[in-house]
Amino acid sequence: MLRRGHRGGRARPTAPGASEVLGILLIDKPAGITSHDVVSRVRRALGTKRVGHAGTLDPIATGLLVVAVGHATRFLSYLPLEPKRYEGIAKFGVATTTYDLEGEPTEVRPVPEDLEARIGEVGERFVGAVRQLPPMFSAVKKDGKPLYAYARQGLEVEREEREVWIDALDVEVLPPDRARIAVVCSGGTYVRTLVHDLGQAVGCGAHVVELRRTQAGRFDVAQAVSPDDVSPEALLPLSEALDLPKARLTDPQLRLFRNGNPVPMRLSEPSPHAAVCDLHGNVVGLARCGVSTLEPEIVIPEDALAR
């Protein structure tokens, strides 16, 4: 179980001469706000502009949003964020422009009485490697412009299919026209698209009416805090958030690393990257692992770390 603490960069409000706020926040996003709204709240609460998030949640969606603060933003792509788990409710018989309840209906059809049987017949198509067309109402970019910007102008543009991976899909039909869904999937999966495509496959259309992300890799929504409860004490240190081999360096080795020089060291377990720590276990950077050296990739400035 991950726990919040202060090693690997103690969280304190930024002030002249003080260490910067640094760490990972697990936020339980409510419905009705965007992921960017959450970032704005975190910036205000912690008094820092350096905030980013991994894995956008739609406004109607709730649940786990992983947020990085301070120099931890540079580690977002190295966090263990897969697979992702979602729970939700789908409504059959209506397809919408956005693939969720916020869109306008594009087709309305009777829900077949044998809906459960039809889902059972087509379900295997939606497990394993699945090709998805990103929805027009999404942040995927086309020619440098997000698709939702085209959609809001009433335009539909050509976009490329993407392959995603669905580890598991459970569908429990709730008569007469709804179903409870549980999905375990790779990053980049659009559950809205999954539900829309499932609706097309059973012949009546479908859209998402509720969606909640419960897990992203080793992070669980049960550990998350409300956007209204953000504080330095809620930060998870990088030393606990990263699931990488740890390389503890002596002071002379640290000086080499911080100056951008390779550090002679062979890790006991092979890995393309390692979290570089001082002798107290505080994460001070990230290294590419050579055969017998650590090559600096990310170096956290010394004055950004807790003293």
Q: Which residues are catalytic?
A: 58
Closest CA to 296 of 270, 266, 263, 265: 263
Q: What are phi and psi of 100, to 5 degrees?
A: -140, -175
Please give the helix or strand (H or E) that residue 285 lies within, else none: strand 283-289
Amino acid at 118: R
Q: Are 207 and 94 in contact (CB under 8 A)?
A: yes
Closest CA to 243 of 205, 269, 223, 265: 269
Residue with tokens 């409000």: 13
> For residues 55 and 160, what is the distance between their CA atoms, to the nearest angstrom?
20
Closest CA to 135 of 110, 160, 98: 98
Q: Tokens for 138? A: 């999404």
Taking each helix axis from N to C terminus, what angle separates 115-122 and 191-202, rounded to the nearest 10 degrees?
110
CA atoms within 13 A on the CB side of 119: 27
Would you list the DSSP string of 101-166?
TTSPEEEE-PPPTTHHHHHHHHGGGGSEEEEEPPPSSSS-EETTEEHHHHHHTT-------EEEEE
Q: Are strands 62-69 and 206-216 parallel, antiparallel or unpaired?
A: parallel
Whole-angstrom CA distances from 31 to 34, 89, 187 are 8, 14, 21
